[in-house]
Structures are given as structure tokens and as C-alpha cells.
């Protein structure tokens, strides 16, 4: 698979920076410290921007090799930073995946194992408002606050709809978005939508946007960046694009006259999200914040090909499965002067790693945070061919589980024998090697079981009918 990058290198201003340093020194204004690589390093910690897609397909971006769906702004971002070929989420569905990202912990350690969607949970589990990120868990925003950061979340929350789970009570300072897992892209009329779908401007202040929501979120992000440009900020732009319902503007649909049905709608929705990311990136540049901002773009789980016509090739599987197409996601990291442009990283990483990476970048010390499962990525990125951030990664949803140990991957299913793959040789998971390597199956089973012994029981369970549907994802959309 070929990866397409736009030619947009980051300019290096070492000579100018050194002259500026001397001028400031002799004028008595102080001097800017230099980083180890001799590029200009600002005196304050970096801003942090996390651009987060929802239900996007692994291959539905130009920087991932797609030649039909247009993503020029994200392609440019990829060319300015590092693209990760083996980035994983902690689960193949939205809620648990976000819980792992926000806490830096496998979410199964505190019982957030299944999606917290009212109506599909079993009577034995918690219901409705009771399903949310446990209050004893700290978030990225909690850890960044004492480091002087203002934390903002825009868009989808999906960590509990009750007031006690509200993002403004979970470390975030500002919120413009909705508490649930999905909503319309166009404004609701009076009496439409559900409580969890309603847009909030701060706590309990309900509003409705104008126009298309993806564009509206970008506009709000740009306003907030301008307002907070004089102090370090963490901006979590949590798009609901390209999650269902499938709704796009007529203008964006016209950009894809050769596509039909949901695939056309997906392409148009992706174009809108790319445009929104571009607005944010342009705002950083316009305010001269670009060089002192760490930007990450990624996705919450694999694309649900059965629902939004997304594609995960060359990977097998979809959202809700532990095949690679359910848990491996696009991932870009740009930090000028720290991460080389036009670079790639091939060892496995996890969205668990965002919290410690952000904390250390902000001037904190993530090694003092007890129990984290994520690691600071930055030391590993300095030597892309060196040691791995993770030798082993785990996934679990009730009886289904998976483990990646170096390049071997075991998938455990409740209704059939285990599957074993060598991802270095077979990233599409076409050749099940379980019969050929029974000792490897046994060893990985033991390792997976040992990890499961560390976990809490699930706080809520999914209905059997939904579990059966999810299990069927392993038989559909295989490459």
C-alpha cells in the first residue's frame, strides 16, 4: 500500500532564531532557551491539540493512500509530522476507547468494558444515567490543570450523561458539545432530539448551532484558540464525524459525483471534517502558535463498514471486532522541532500513550503517575528503529479478547476456536496459524488470562442479542 504525502516541509529558522536571541539579550529583554537540537524553543509549554475522528475508516484518508476521498489538510499535517502505521485504540467501540484515552489506563481496570448506550445494556447491568466514567478516575485534563493548562473539549463526550459525569466536573474548563454518543449534524427543531443529544454551551446551558455541526465545531475551536493564545491550552476537538446519522451538505456531496449512497455521504462528511481540521491548523499558524503546538490526529475505533460505508483495507474486520480493522487507526503527530517531518513510525503504539506524552510535553512527570498503562512516546520517536513502546497490548469485551505480543496476535472468541496471526507477515489476518503453532496459542492464552486477573468486573453488560450481532462482525468484511 502506498502512502500519499503532500510536499510541505517545515522551514528551519535556526540562524534567524540565534540572531533574535542575541538581540533580545543585549536589549535587556531576556533570552529564549534553546532545545538540544538547536532549534528555537519557546519559554512556555506547548499548546496541545487533539483532533479526534469518530468511526472513520482506516483507509479513508489521502495520507493513508486513498485517492478518492479528499483530505488535503490532514495530508499536509501528515507531511509536516510523523505518520504511525500501527496505532491502536483500547477498544473497538466508542465509549470504552475514549475512557482509555482520557485516563491512560486500560478501561477494563475500572469496569468500563462495554459501550455505555442506554437501551442495549442488559438488566443485570447499570442503566441509563448510571453508565459513565467512574468518578475516582482522573483524566488528561485533571493532570494538565496543575501544570497551568486550560483544557477545552468540543463535540462528543460519551463518558456519561448524568450531571456528575459532565466534562466540566472531570477536569475540563470549557465544554461546547453533547453528552451522548451521536447526534444530528444539522440543528434540531423545537422538541427534537434527546437530552443526551442536546448541545451545551457550558454546564446545562443548552443551545442549537447554525449550519453544519462539523463546521460549527471548527469555528468554536478557532475562537477559543484566539481567546487562549496567551496561555498554554489543551484543546480536545472530539468530532462526531463520520459517525451515523449519515448527513452531509449538498455542497460537499457535489464534490463526489462518481460515488453513490452511503459511500458518497461518507466522503462528503470526511471532506467537511478535513476542512474543519484545516481551519484549526490555519488558526494556529495565523496566531504564530504553530511551532509551539503539539497536534495529534487520530480516530476512536475502526470504521463500521456495515453502517457508514467506511473502509479499513488492507485490514480485516470493522468496528466492534478485535480484528485489525476494528482496533488499528490512522494516527498523525506533529510537533515542530521535536518530531521530524515526512517521517513514519512502525512499532505499535496505543492511544493509552497520549496522556503520559501530553503530561511530559507540558512539563510534568508522568513517571510519578501510578498505574498508567500508557508510555511517553517522545523518547521512542527519537529512535524509530529502536525499542518498542509496548511489547504487548491487550483488548477485552466480555468473553471476547485479543492480545498482540510483539508481532503475534491471538483473538479469543466465545463461539469458536482461537485465531492466531503473525502481523509482521500478514497484517490483513488472512492466514490463521493456530493449528500450526499450538504452543504459541497456549502461551498467549496464558498471558491474556494473567492480564485479565488484574481487571475489575464490568460495571454494565451488553444484551445477548447485541453481543451476537457483534460476534458476527468477525465473519463479515474480511479482506
User: Which residues are annotated as catalytic?
Assistant: 94, 158
How many residues can be counted in the chain?
Answer: 479
Estimate the share of the chain in helix, then strand, then coil, as percent rounded to the nearest 5. 35, 15, 50
- Sequence-distant (≥ 6) Cβ neighbours of residue 189 within 8 angstroms: none
Among left, alpha and beta (phi > 0; psi -120 to 50; other), residue 248 is: beta
Residue pair 467/398 in contact (Cβ under 8 Å)? The answer is yes
Distances (CA, A) of 319 to 57, 184, 307, 407: 9, 21, 10, 21
Closest listed residue to residue 49, CA positions, set 276, 225, 294: 294
Class of residue 173 by CB neighbours under 10 A (exposed 0-12, middle 13-18, buried 19+): middle
Q: How far apart are CA 200 and CA 398, in angstroms?
A: 33
Q: Report which secondary-structure segment, H or E, holds 299.
A: strand 293-299
Q: How far apart are CA 100 and CA 304, in angstroms?
A: 20
**Which residues, listed in sequence order, are joined to residue 155 by a DSSP beta bridge?**
177, 238
Q: Report which secondary-structure segment, H or E, holds 349.
A: strand 349-350
Can you read off the three cell numbers belonging to residue 328?
488499528
Amino acid at each position: 500500500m502506498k502512502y500519499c504525502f503532500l510536499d510541505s516541509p517545515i522551514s528551519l529558522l535556526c540562524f534567524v532564531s540565534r540572531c533574535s536571541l542575541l538581540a533580545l539579550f543585549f536589549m535587556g529583554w531576556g533570552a529564549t532557551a534553546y532545545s538540544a537540537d538547536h532549534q528555537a524553543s519557546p519559554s512556555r509549554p506547548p499548546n496541545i491539540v487533539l483532533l479526534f475522528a469518530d468511526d472513520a475508516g482506516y483507509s479513508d484518508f489521502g495520507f493513508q493512500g486513498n485517492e478518492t476521498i479528499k483530505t488535503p489538510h490532514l495530508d499536509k499535517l501528515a507531511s509536516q509530522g510523523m505518520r504511525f502505521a500501527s496505532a491502536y485504540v483500547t477498544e473497538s467501540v466508542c465509549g470504552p476507547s475514549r475512557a482509555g484515552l482520557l485516563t491512560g489506563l486500560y478501561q477494563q481496570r475500572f469496569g468500563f468494558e462495554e459501550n455505555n448506550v442506554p437501551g442495549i445494556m442488559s438488566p443485570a447491568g447499570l442503566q441509563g444515567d448510571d453508565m459513565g466514567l467512574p468518578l475516582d478516575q482522573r483524566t488528561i485534563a485533571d493532570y494538565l490543570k496543575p501544570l497551568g493548562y486550560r483544557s477545552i473539549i468540543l463535540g462528543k463526550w460519551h463518558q456519561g450523561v448524568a450531571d456528575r459525569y459532565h466534562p466540566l466536573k472531570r477536569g475540563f474548563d470549557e465544554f461546547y458539545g453533547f453528552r451522548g454518543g451521536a447526534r444530528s449534524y444539522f440543528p434540531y427543531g423545537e422538541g427534537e432530539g434527546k437530552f443526551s443529544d442536546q448541545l451545551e454551551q457550558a454546564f446545562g446551558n443548552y443551545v442549537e448551532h447554525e449550519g453544519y455541526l462539523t463546521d460549527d465545531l471548527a469555528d468554536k475551536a478557532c475562537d477559543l484558540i484566539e481567546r487562549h493564545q496567551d496561555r498554554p491550552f489543551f484543546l480536545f476537538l472530539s468530532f462526531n464525524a463520520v459517525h451515523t446519522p449519515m448527513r452531509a451538505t449538498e455542497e460537499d456531496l457535489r464534490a463526489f459525483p462518481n460515488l453513490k449512497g452511503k459511500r458518497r455521504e461518507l466522503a462528503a462528511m470526511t471532506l467537511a471534517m478535513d476542512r474543519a481540521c484545516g481551519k484549526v491548523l490555519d488558526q494556529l499558524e495565523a496566531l504564530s502558535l504553530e511551532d509551539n503546538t503539539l497536534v495529534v490526529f487520530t480516530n476512536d475505533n475502526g470504521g463500521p463498514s456495515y453502517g457508514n460505508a467506511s473502509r479499513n483495507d488492507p485490514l480485516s474486520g470493522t468496528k466492534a471486532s478485535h480484528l485489525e480493522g476494528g482496533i488499528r487507526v490512522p494516527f498523525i503527530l506533529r510537533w515542530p522541532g521535536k518530531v521530524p517531518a515526512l517521517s513514519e513510525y512502525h512499532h505499535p503504539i496505543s492511544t493509552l500513550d497520549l496522556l503520559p506524552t501530553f503530561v511530559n510535553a507540558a512539563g510534568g512527570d508522568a513517571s510519578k503517575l501510578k498505574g498508567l498503562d500508557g508510555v511517553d512516546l517522545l523518547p521512542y520517536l527519537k529512535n524509530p528503529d529502536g525499542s518498542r513502546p509496548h511489547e504487548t497490548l491487550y483488548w477485552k469485551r466480555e468473553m471476547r479478547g485479543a492480545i498482540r505480543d510483539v508481532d503475534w496476535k491471538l483473538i479469543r472468541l466465545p463461539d469458536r476456536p482461537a485465531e492466531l496471526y503473525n502481523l509482521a507477515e500478514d497484517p490483513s489476518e488472512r492466514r490463521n496459524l493456530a493449528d500450526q503453532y499450538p504452543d504459541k496459542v497456549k502461551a498467549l492464552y496464558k498471558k491474556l488470562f494473567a492480564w485479565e486477573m488484574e481487571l475489575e468486573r464490568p460495571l454494565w453488560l451488553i444484551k445477548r442479542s447485541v453481543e451476537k450481532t457483534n460476534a458476527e462482525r468477525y465473519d463479515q468484511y474480511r479482506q
